[in-house]
Structure 1
């Protein structure tokens, strides 16, 4: 199951916020929309996505940040799985 969370921020801190969210590690997808609700970009984040694979995504986010004044980031997070209760057999 996934949960969604939204943040309204200014374009000048967009790149920093996206980097912080990626560092959290439990993010499935990030969507960036402008103030009117138009989707500017969306990208999925796979587990283990690091370094060279993030560079083009972060470059695109930086370009979007330079063009928009106010935007909304919608984050789809993975919910941690609850450990299943182990049934104990009585002897």
Structure 2
């Protein structure tokens, strides 16, 4: 199951934050939006991305940072561990069936 997290950030810190997010293992997608939440750019994040493919992404993010003052980063993450509910096996207690009475 995936969940989203939003960061409000200034343009000057945008590239630094995107680089941090690329290093987090559970991030699957990064979207950069303006302060009115209109999408500017969106890109998937995978562990297989190498520097050759990251350079154009970082260049685009750097260009966006130069023209926007405030923006939002919307991060989609996958859960680290699937959440499971523990079921307790309990049988109903019947007071009439007590063998000690």
TM-score, normalised by the number of residues in structure 2: 0.77
- Structure 2 SS opposite 1:24: coil
2:54 aligned partner: 54
| Correspondence list, 1:1-91, <5 A | 1-82=1-82
Q: Which runs of 5+ in 2 are unaligned?
A: 85-101
Aligned residues: 84
Q: Deviations over 1:51-81 (max 9, x none)?
A: 1111110100000000100000000011123
Q: Which runs of 5+ in 1 are unaligned?
A: 85-91
Larger radius of gyration: 2
TM-score, normalised by the number of residues in structure 1: 0.85
Cα distance, 1:83–1:75 mapped onto 2, change above 3 Å: closer
